[in-house]
Chain A
Amino acid sequence: MTWLDSDPAVETRYRTVSETTDLAALIEALFDESWRVRRLAADKLSVATTSDTLVQALLEVLSRRGQTGARNAAATALAHLGLVGVKPLIGLLGHTDPDQRKFAADILGELGRVEASSALIAALRDDDPNVRVASAEALGKTGGPDARRALEALLAAGPDVLIQVSALEALTALNAPPPLPLLVPLLHNPLTRRSAWRLIGRVRHRSAWVLMVRALRSKSTRDAALLALGGSTTPLASDVENELSVALSGVEDASAWLTKCLASEDLERRVGALHLVRAVRLPELSSRVAEAAEGGALAELSLSVLLSLGTPALVALLEGPSPALLQMSREGRSVASEAIVENSSPRFVGALTALLDAGEDELGEVAVRALGRCESIAAIAPLLRALDDDAVSAAASRALTHLAQTFPAEVKQSLSAKVLGPLRPHLVRAWANVAGLEALPVVRRALHDEAEAVRAAGAQMAMVVASEASTLLGMAVVDESARVRRGAARAVAGLGPTTGRPLLERLLDDREPSVLALAAGAAMECGAAWATPRLIELTTHADSGVVLASVQALMVLGGADDATLARIAAHPDGEVVKQVLQEGASSTAVLAQAVKALNDPRWDVRGAAAEALAVGGGVEHLAALEIASERETDALAHEAISRALAALKAR
């Protein structure tokens, strides 16, 4: 075993540093012979309260030639200090020691502040090549109005390859491709080729595509050209895809090469490979395509490529003695599953049934969803079985309902035998959806079932037998289980405001908040204007969910006066406030609350307040919005405030 820091003296110093907050001691520790101690000190300094003294002390450490470890540690700490470090570091760019100037450029790049841009552009003319390279790289991180022009000038300056590569990488980071005549000569130099190709991919012009297609034909330039394709995750135009396909058609090892690229750690390489797989249509790579989604960022592209490869790609995922889908990572499976559900077809029934029986809940649900969309009678039997499996029964119920759109008689016949046996919630739902009026005996039976889940399902489905719904829901409304009453509250709106009134009145007086909230929603849905007084009462309920549902109903039904709206808009729950702001901007009382809500601690409430003022406010609200704009730190809320300001100024 190798214990690098087995020296007890080092351990003691490490502990001393870990326990101190004294800046001088931490600066001193940057010179420690142990890298662990130095790193710990840098770590602590980077989160210490920033001051000019601290910055100066760290710059002083940077100046100690021969103290590499300490200087690196100080640079690490400086790179975390933010704007306060910019000015002193710009000063350091003028130091007599080139080593110091390079450090300054590196750290300014790490800080990424545009305030350093002009100084870094000036440093591109430094006598020392290392300082020039570091400054070019830093400009790629800071950006700035003149950064692009300065970096382009470096490409033309030649023959300094190192500075050219730095400029290319910086322009890539800024997503600012230079003119093609500047780039093309750099495609031929092995040292600048990769970086130059990456930028070619960012040129949105046919001339760049032509270069790329040509390069893909040659083994020596293929890898680099792939990076050009990897610059964008947007699907390519079909004519470009055709050309790519032609370019790769003569390549013998294309499949093996693309397999390797799809598994690359380099995201751009993976993107490029995905574009190519779509262009050349290689369904046998389907599992690799799905796995390329690893990390999540490429999921959309992976899925679209997989779908473009059609049924053969899905066959490759699903069929065979040991289907690829079962071997894949969770993220790969997720993408592959989406493609299978979206492009399900009758030929997959066997494979999907096997997947359902594979013993993995997640894949079971995928199989059920796909079976529901496969438009095959053969899918009915496995879906009926799935209704008995708690893990997938809800999905199976929806899938059977979906399948019944194509095969109504067959699905109904299969379910009719099943509902003669013990009832389960999702069986009741599926049967009611499929059988309609004929479901009455089963719904009635469900409402008398011992299990509250079954009674709740019966209540929820009562409206399919409209003629008896009132009686059926009457049973559910007086059920001792809140779950069943919730089922009734979800359905009662279907009876309309008059027929449903006795039931809805009872539900609006329920003791259970969750039932009250659903009843308020039902009042809104069926237009029960008579419920307004009770809904106003409910806006003072202790449960925010009840208040929110009541407010939503009141906003739709009307009937709340300005005083009520003003009271609700001052509710402690931000979600309630937002609701009033979003729907009550025609009320002056709400607008007055909107001005106050510009100071709300929640960003979304502040945003909603600004949006309300944008549509309902006037010039008298400009001042409040101006102040809010200056103070706002949240991007989305700031956007809303800016829009409101523009709207009011234009008025």
Chain B
Amino acid sequence: MAEMTPEQLRLLRDVFQNACGFVLREDLKFIAERRLAPRLEALGLRDFGTYQRYLRFDPRAKEELEIAIDLLLPRETYFFREPAQLTTYVDEVIPRLAQDAVGRSLHVWSAGCSSGEEPYTLSMLMGDHPLLQGWDMDILGTDLSQKALSMARHAEYGPSALRSTTPEQRAKFFDSAEQGRVKVKREFKERVRFGWLNLLDGGGARLLPSMDVIFCRNVLIYFDTETRRRVVQLFSERLREGGYLMLGHSENLFSLTTRFELVQLSGDLVYRKPRTG
């Protein structure tokens, strides 16, 4: 198996960082070698230096870049992940949103949704919420991996995605599929839509409607500080005043921006876009 030299690792890191802000850390060298080795084999390339040039110059470079990033980003996701935060969302954030909303509609964005487990989880929780019955709910999941989005649209999942799902939730929100897999029930699937979006593509994001809530959990940790700043600024632009930004439990906006205010709820700390005036 080809070994990645420190220089090749840096060059690949530069390519990924420019493309989507993803930082290939040095301690991930082993993982990167292992996960990208089949790509070298498939493309008939001799080493990672040649692969780096392929990613820059080959006509299929964009397609390959997406494959590479998809292989390297952990994208760990499953239904009802981080239940404490979801409880806070259901018990404390939704009532606040319902109270503030103009009209009976909510726009929620799951940024970096990978294969769709998070937006579908939100659809299940919101569709089930007594305060939101009869509301128009638009849940958008975006990701830069077309492969992940294709899985998300298919809405069929294996046991790994149900690690945190109770038998009751499984019965209520999923239909059984072949090979012990499950499919998201139509009523929870149909209010979720998906889009192909690089979070560094401000132009693309500006086409999105003004959001009431943005979920971006365990995505920023893979970005460098500058990219985080840009992405958080984008979130600030896309959120309506008083809207909420939900990050992963180990993430915060310290040293990134002052555009959000930290609000302590009884179950969790969340960020909110301040109202002006």
Contact = CB atoms under 8 A, between A and B. Distances in A.
A, B assembled together: yes
A545 B276 CA distance: 51
Given A359-B178, A359-B181, A636-B10, A338 B34 contact: yes
A108 to B, nearest CB: 20
Contacts of B274: 11, 14-15, 18
A1 B159 contact: no
B180 interface: yes
B248 interface: no
B261 A14 contact: yes
A15 B75 CA distance: 35
A21 to B, nearest CB: 11
Contacts of B264: 2-5
Interface string B153-193: 00010111001000000000000011111000000000000
Nearest to A547: B57
Given A46-B255, A297-B27, A398-B41, A604 B10 contact: yes
Given A2-B266, A361-B147, A545-B58, A607 B7 contact: yes
A636 B6 contact: yes
B95 interface: yes
A369 interface: yes
Most buried by B among A3, A44, A369, A398: A3
Contacts, number: 119
Contacts of A513: 59
Contacts of B92: 1
B206 interface: no
B37 to A, nearest CB: 9
A575 B179 contact: no
A412 interface: no
Contact of B56 (A18, A39, A330, A575): A575
Contact of B179 (A297, A328, A357, A607): A357
Nearest to A515: B59
B159 A326 contact: yes
Given A1-B265, A636-B10, A326 B75 contact: no
Given A1-B92, A359-B158, A575-B53, A296 B74 contact: yes
B56 A329 contact: no
A540 B265 CA distance: 63
A369 B158 contact: no
Interface residues on B, range: 35 or more
A287 to B, nearest CB: 11
A398 B258 contact: no
Interface string B48-61: 00000100111100
Contacts of A334: 31, 34-35
Contacts of A358: 158, 179, 181
B159 A327 contact: yes
Contacts of A603: 10
Contacts of B76: 329-331
A514 B58 contact: yes
B20 interface: no
A312 B160 CA distance: 22
A36 B274 CA distance: 13
A357 B96 CA distance: 46
Contacts of B163: 327, 329
A43 interface: yes
Contacts of A299: 28, 30-31, 34
A592 interface: no
Interface string A1-43: 1111100000100110110000000000000000010011001
A40 to B, nearest CB: 6
Nearest to B151: A361
A430 to B, nearest CB: 13
Contacts of A328: 160
B116 to A, nearest CB: 14
B31 A322 contact: no
Contact of A604 (B7, B30, B158): B7
A361 B158 CA distance: 11
Interface string A304-331: 0000000000000000001000111111
Interface in B62-106: 74-76, 92, 95-96
B262 interface: yes
A493 B146 CA distance: 35
